Structure 1
Amino acid sequence: MILLTGASGQIATAVITTLLRQLPSNQIAAFVRNPAKATKLQAQGLDLRIGSYDDRDSLDRAMQGIDTVLLISGTEEGKRVQQHQNVIDAAKKAGVKRIAYTSRNLRNPATLANTLMHEHFQTEEAIKASGLMYTIFRNALYMDAIPQFIGGAHSFERGIVLPAGDGRVAFALRSEQGEAMANALVQLHNESQIYALTGSQTWSFADVAQSLSELTGKTIAYTPIEGSAFAANLKQRGLDDQVIQRILGFMTDIKLGQEDQVSASLETLLGRKPSGLKAGLSSIFAEALQANEH
């Protein structure tokens, strides 16, 4: 029996889609905070378990009868390491055999600009210290996040302006990372595993601009700018300082090569090459590209 935490979220949805092709629905349990957001999961026949990362009693109940837990990273900065520890403790207490975790694939955690990422590696250490068998998925940046970084379809007209320099990213689609995770979870291993789930090559934002130019039939330029100018632009658009610093952290790490790593794990687990940049962008921007044609 596999339990997914954060089961109504996007990455969990991608994992569940593939699990349901390989397992009966009664072998999949979904841990959710709000049952109103889990009606689709219930309709699919999943075993709903209600609670939160902060509610230790609900975690204890959720772990009953579970063999493998997929701990999907929480989103509450500053709190999530303790929340993850609560999940790990409950899993160990209930005799769960394996814990899996959605971490991040970055070149050198010690030199990260985006300090929020440290919480992933603290969680990895907590999992290893638990003594449980583990599967750690170190995910590349979602290709699906590109619209947020570049300003969505507005970039078709104004171009892409970011402080990422010539930095390259091994982008991968969220759906394919979820599919690969599901495939790994149903495999029986007697040892712990770490998978780096990346695209099969890396791309710069100049490559993103080139692919979008080909898809739209327009000339879309990428202009690298300094971080201070970028932050000032975001401030003018009304973003708060914390959000600006997080975006700037992502961009700085890209510029410094933190995301410039390729692994074969995603291709191996999928049994095919992951989607390339142009194909992925065509899917992600499907509606905007259709509108662009008219």
Structure 2
Amino acid sequence: MSNPSHRYLVTGASGQLGRLVVEGLVRKVPAEQVAVIVRNPKAGESLAALGVEVRIADYAKPETLDAAFAGIDRALLISSSEVGQRTVQHRNVIDAAKRAGVTFLAYTSLLHADTSPLGLAVEHRETEAALSSSGIPFAVLRNGWYTENKVMAIPAALEHGAYLGSAGEGRFSTASRADYAEAAVAVLLADDAGNGCIYELAGDRSFTLPEFVAEVARQSAKPVAYKDLPEAEYKSVLLGAGLPEHFAELLADSDAGAAKGALLDESGQLGALIGRRTTPYAATIAEALRG
């Protein structure tokens, strides 16, 4: 497990996943062994309050990354949020980690990235290839869908009585964001994580969107039904609701991929990593309805 001489780094630490990883990490090791990368000093203030070292750097600015990786032994590269620019940005990070002599680099990829039909998978595959050829001992955390990705549509669904999607009867093996963060901490701290290990991470229990929406209706005691749309029509609806083009396309494409089985996994690797059953989707729905 953790080594008292190791220095750990979490990139993208001000994001929702990154914050959870940092919080989990400082519960396992002294905060002074942990450094984080954020782009904006303001975003790092709450992380600094945890006692970790905040380093300012940007995936898109290679000149900022060498100092950010100085003295680091083991690092977690959380994938960039800038779809379309990820491959170059991730290579910048990998190159900086190599120059700094990082001894282990974990990366948050996508479930079954090597075979996934999702458009999102392309940049993840390219990043995995860059990792593999870097010479740095590494592990790939192929994260499945967060339950929160589906929960965020609940308020609109309750308002209109319909939950829209394009997944048909495709099944989603989701887990909570906190589950994936806990797995990242486990791999980052495990000296026996192995070089080139690939973890297919997904929830223990899957659901179709009709099943998910039925659970929303049951818990909320409000009439809401699932309405399945063709991918193009679903994207159009999302655009009409004010979502940016790239985000609407991502959501529609992901549902279409789920219809083909892209977001289903029954390997149980996530639960094995965190040593417990993954968070049931019903529990995440309940939390959202309370909030």
User: TM-score normalized by structure 1?
Assistant: 0.91
Unaligned runs of 5+ in 2: 1-6
Q: Give the aligned residue type for 1:163.
A: S
Q: Give the aligned residue type for 2:155.
A: A
The Cα offsets for residues 249-268 of structure 1, whole Å up to 9 and x where unpaired, read as 11110111111112222111
Q: Give the aligned residue type for 1:132.
A: I
Would you say 1:26 and 2:32 are equivalent positions?
A: yes
Choose which of 226, 230, 234 in structure 1 pairs with 2:230.
226
Would you say 1:200 and 2:198 are equivalent positions?
A: no
Q: Structure 1 residues 250, 95: CA separation in 2 closer, same or farther (over 3 Å shift)? A: same
2:288 paired residue number: 284
- The CA RMSD measured in Å over matched residues stands at 1.7
Choose which of 76, 84, 88 in structure 2 pairs with 1:78.
84
1:121 paired residue number: 125
Which stretch of structure 1 is more off in the superposition, 223-232 or 36-45? Answer: 223-232
Choose which of 135, 145, 163 in structure 2 pairs with 1:141.
145
Q: Distance in 1 between matches of 2:236 and 2:108?
A: 33
* Shift of residue 223, structure 1, vs aligned partner: 2.1
* Shift of residue 128, structure 1, vs aligned partner: 0.6
Q: Distance in 2 between matches of 1:187 and 1:62?
A: 22
Which stretch of structure 1 is more off in the superposition, 165-174 or 188-197? Answer: 188-197
Choose which of 155, 158, 181 in structure 1 pairs with 2:157.
155
Determine if contact 1:143/1:171 at 8 Å carries over to the other structure.
Answer: yes
Aligned residues: 283
Determine if contact 2:9/2:34 at 8 Å carries over to the other structure.
Answer: yes
Would you say 1:63 and 2:69 are equivalent positions?
A: yes
Q: Structure 1 residues 67, 159: CA separation in 2 closer, same or farther (over 3 Å shift)? A: same
Determine if contact 2:112/2:200 at 8 Å carries over to the other structure.
Answer: no
* Shift of residue 240, structure 1, vs aligned partner: 4.8
Which stretch of structure 1 is more off in the superposition, 56-65 or 170-179? Answer: 56-65
Q: Give the aligned residue type for 2:97.
A: A
* Shift of residue 154, structure 1, vs aligned partner: 2.4
SS of residue paired to 2:27:
helix
The Cα offsets for residues 111-166 of structure 1, whole Å up to 9 and x where unpaired, read as x1x42321011101100111111111110111011134xx3312124121211100
* Shift of residue 216, structure 1, vs aligned partner: 1.1
Q: Distance in 2 between matches of 1:229 and 1:137?
A: 32
Q: Give the aligned residue type for 1:84.
A: H
* Shift of residue 54, structure 1, vs aligned partner: 2.3
Determine if contact 2:113/2:124 at 8 Å carries over to the other structure.
Answer: no
Q: Give the aligned residue type for 2:139.
A: T
Q: Structure 1 residues 210, 244: CA separation in 2 closer, same or farther (over 3 Å shift)? A: same
Determine if contact 2:166/2:230 at 8 Å carries over to the other structure.
Answer: yes
Determine if contact 1:211/1:277 at 8 Å carries over to the other structure.
Answer: no
The Cα offsets for residues 153-193 of structure 1, whole Å up to 9 and x where unpaired, read as 12124121211100111011001110121122111127222
Choose which of 55, 66, 76 in structure 2 pairs with 1:49.
55
* Shift of residue 233, structure 1, vs aligned partner: 2.6
Determine if contact 1:164/1:251 at 8 Å carries over to the other structure.
Answer: yes
SS of residue paired to 1:54:
coil
1:268 paired residue number: 272
Q: Distance in 2 between matches of 1:243 and 1:40?
A: 28
Q: Structure 1 residues 215, 64: CA separation in 2 closer, same or farther (over 3 Å shift)? A: same
* Shift of residue 281, structure 1, vs aligned partner: 1.1
1:89 paired residue number: 95
Identical counterparts, % of pairs: 32
